[in-house]
């Protein structure tokens, strides 16, 4: 690894400090670095294609931002946890130098996490497309009104929902919004697709786990404003009749790990106790 990008959270002072410290360490060893804000997407997108590694300093949200950009180029991510839960994080702030030494010496492995590809269709035309590491959510906007959704899998009718919304999640996203909505936890090594309704009314209340080959289509019927949300960070307003198609993305998020490959169960229990 010769070119390393350091993405800091602009609202966390410690994030910028840690990025600066690691920048000094790496440049002293003759490595090329770039330091940038995780919130400046356009600037990051210009640098990421030339990087061998991205190091994030923040919570899971910072990793999600980096993942959507890095996956397009296969760039691996090493995450330093400055958030509350840190489900995706690899290193704690006081471990940065030690973990970085192991990575630079080749003592690490790459964990591959599946992502989702979502397409917004309006009047039969493609309106926009997105990649997501955690989830794709179709739900109501600021008004507390239910939305009516029809879900199809591979063209076959699956279920009708009268609910606050519907979460389509990856195994990674099963520990995020879907878990809060009562969904199960899936091992991150799986590629299945998880459907979890949000506060369902007179509808299927249980989550559904579908195979990775499935193509999910959600058809919206609403008199009120609804939104499509990607990883809890990107919002697009929806109108009555819109359709959202979701499938497993051709892109993969690659996370740098120095922990044992069996780390997930131990970390999950520790995070849920917080």
**So which residues are the catalytic ones?**
60
Enumerate residues 6+ apart whose C-beta is below 8 A from 24. Answer: none
- Residue 174, Cβ neighbours under 10 Å: how many? 25
Beta bridge mates, 118: 130, 246
Token pair of 58, please? 């923040």
DSSP 37-60: ETT-HHHHHHHGGG-SEEEEEESH
Of 81, 39, 74, the C-alpha closest to 60 is 81
- What is the distance, to the nearest Å, from the Cα of residue 30 to the centroid of all Cα atoms in its chain? 32
């Amino acid at each position: 690894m010769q070119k390393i990008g350091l993405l800091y959270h602009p609202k966390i002072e410690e994030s910028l400090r840690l990025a600066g410290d690691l920048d000094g360490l790496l440049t002293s060893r003759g490595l090329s670095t770039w330091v940038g804000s995780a919130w400046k997407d356009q600037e990051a997108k210009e640098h990421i294609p030339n990087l061998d590694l991205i190091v994030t300093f923040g919570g899971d949200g910072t990793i999600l931002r980096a993942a959507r950009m890095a996956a397009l180029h296969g760039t691996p991510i090493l995450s330093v946890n400055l958030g509350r839960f840190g489900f995706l994080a690899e290193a704690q702030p006081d471990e940065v130098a030690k973990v970085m030494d192991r990575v630079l010496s080749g003592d690490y492995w790459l964990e591959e996490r599946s992502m989702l590809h979502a397409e917004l269709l309006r009047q039969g035309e493609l309106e926009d497309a997105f990649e997501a590491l955690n989830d794709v959510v179709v739900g109501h906007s600021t008004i507390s009104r239910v939305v009516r959704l029809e879900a199809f899998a591979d063209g076959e009718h699956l279920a009708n929902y009268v609910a606050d919304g519907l979460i389509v999640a990856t195994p990674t996203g099963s520990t995020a919004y879907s878990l809060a909505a009562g969904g199960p936890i899936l091992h991150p090594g799986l590629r299945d697709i998880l459907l979890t309704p949000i506060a369902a009314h007179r509808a299927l209340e249980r989550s559904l786990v579908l195979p990775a080959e499935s193509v999910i289509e959600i058809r919206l019927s609403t008199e009120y404003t609804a939104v499509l949300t990607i990883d809890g960070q990107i919002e697009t307003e929806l109108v009555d009749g819109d359709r959202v198609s979701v499938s497993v993305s051709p892109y993969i998020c690659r996370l740098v790990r120095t922990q044992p490959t069996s780390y997930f169960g131990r970390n999950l229990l520790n995070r849920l106790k917080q």
